[in-house]
Amino acid sequence: MSAPPAITKLFRQPIFWLLLATALVYSPLIAAGFVYDDWWMIPRNPAIRGIHLLRYFLDPATLADPAAGFAGDVYRPLTTLSFAVDFKMWALRPGFYHLENILLHLANGYLLWRLLGLWLKNKAEALLATALFLLHPVQVEAVSWIGQRTNLLSTFALLGALHYFVGAGGSPRRRWIIGGCCYAVALLCRESAVVLPVLVALVDAQGWRPKTDGRAGRTILYGELILITAAYLGLRFFIMRHWSQFSEAVPPWWQSSGLGVLAFSTYLGKTIFPMALRPSYDYPEFNVWFITGAYGVALGYLGLVWGVRRKNPLLFTGLAWFLACLLPVLQLIPIRAFVSERFLYVPMMGAALAAVWAYRRYPSARTPLWAGTAVLAVVTAANVPHWRNERSLWAHAVKQEPTNAFAHACYAAVVGNPVEAERQYRLALINRPNPAVSLASTVNLSAIYLNRNEPAKAAIFARQALRREPTNIVVLFDLCRAYTALRRKTQAARYCGELERLAPNSPQAAAFRPS
């Protein structure tokens, strides 16, 4: 019995086999668990135990458990809604969450392939660009980390908006309405979708936009984009009351600009040579040679973009797309992360267009480009298993960046071996930790030594922690325990009294209260 014609036609489509290969590369994630900030956003987040749509729009703290400390950094109500729906359907079975991420990545690849087919008018070029987008190793973080559902959802809506604004035919009014809705959804999933007007302008400049709209249609389109962007920014500021991720003191402009150019050089390098990938990148030291080199790379890139704008419009579009999509994360508005591979998810489309230019311009490069894409797929497949659990993720992170204090502290928290945890916390403390990592490391070292009946060492680290946070109840409790074990009554009474003053109703204070 022969297969139905539709199935036969599907099997003959190269995109089907590309999507299937991508699914196989990411299939180990089905058996993976929650990692990193997933815990704060899903298992420990009380806001997703029911579906509270209005609350998600009015309270950005619903993104994660308030104890995480980052819930007020971003405004992504539709992402929170997605997790609430997931929790209702799957509870805390991470395999289903991972499966959704994989399917969204495949859907984004398919939408990109459809758009590039319309724009480039060449199936091989569209397939190569889609393969680079789907299988480049820097995409592993966005797909493997459940918390990055926000990235995948926003990209899906953004590609939908591009499809209706500058891809599809049909009634202009219908395209403007649906495209506008898609853009609004993209923004409410992730703020970096604000680059869509720039992407529309780049595609428009290439002549890839439907010819039927005319000058009036162009005016309506850009007016709509401006209005939606302004409405979103106004709503975001009304809810958040600040623009950056720093509700406290914002870093000085010179430091932010230096971080931005250093980050751009790193992103460019990771796109070309995706090595030493990891979930967390340490802040760099401000070395004059690094800064000078980074500014040189940034100025050279800008010069290249400007130089090819007329003679090589496709290359210009790819390079400008890559830069435009990175602008929201280059510290123009300060954000906490120095570099994160997930920020390259949409910019990779620009890099793929630049590769298509080389494919079109130099026929001799076609075989190396396909071979390079296959090599990238192998590297991606090798990186996916690192995300199967917390221990494998942070073990890989400290191996890739041994000086990253945050990675050492995270690995110590999940390693499950007190001796190795002690070593990792000590490594965190000698590698320029930020105040939060320093506090967590000293507090946890104090607890380790108390559990090993080494109160003298516990007191040393507890005092260090107390200098950083004098009102920390856990630290005061550890000092009470340590000095009581050391039979140093004066110090024990001092810290127990402070604990009683700060938290008289806490279990810690009750433990040392005379009966």
Residues 208-242 pLDDT 10s? 766 656 777 788 889 999 999 999 999 999 998 87
Where are the domains positioned within the chain? 402-511
Global confidence as pTM: 0.93
- Token pair, residue 237, equals 């500021």
In whole angstroms, what is the distance from residue 265 CA to residue 269 CA?
6
Name the residue with tokens 């090599």.
375
Average the pLDDT over 129-138 and give the result. 97
Q: Which CATH superfamily is domain 402-511 in?
A: Tetratricopeptide repeat domain (1.25.40.10)
Q: Do residues 379 and 274 lie in contact, with contact meaning Cβ atoms separated by under 8 Å?
A: yes
pLDDT at 289: 86
Contacts of 400 (CB under 8 A, 6+ apart): 276, 277, 278
| Residue 228: per-residue pLDDT | 96
Question: What pLDDT does residue 184 have?
Answer: 96
Query: Do residues 64 and 70 lie in contact, with contact meaning Cβ atoms separated by under 8 Å?
Result: yes
Q: 379: burial class by Cβ within 10 Å (0-12, 13-18, 19+)?
A: middle
pLDDT one-digit tens code per residue, 281-305: 988 887 888 889 999 999 999 999 9
166 contacts 203 by C-beta, under 8 angstroms: yes
Which structure tokens are listed for 119? 């724009």
Sign of the C-alpha dihedral computed for residues 288, 260, 254 and 245 taken in this order: negative
Tell me the pLDDT tens digit for each residue of 307-332: 999 899 999 999 999 999 999 999 88
Q: Give the confidence band of 139 by pLDDT, cuts at 50, 70, 90.
A: very high
How far is it, in rounded angstroms, from Cα 101 to Cα 42? 14
How far are the Cα atoms of 109, 191, 358, 410 from residue 16, in angstroms, in the given order? Answer: 11, 31, 25, 39
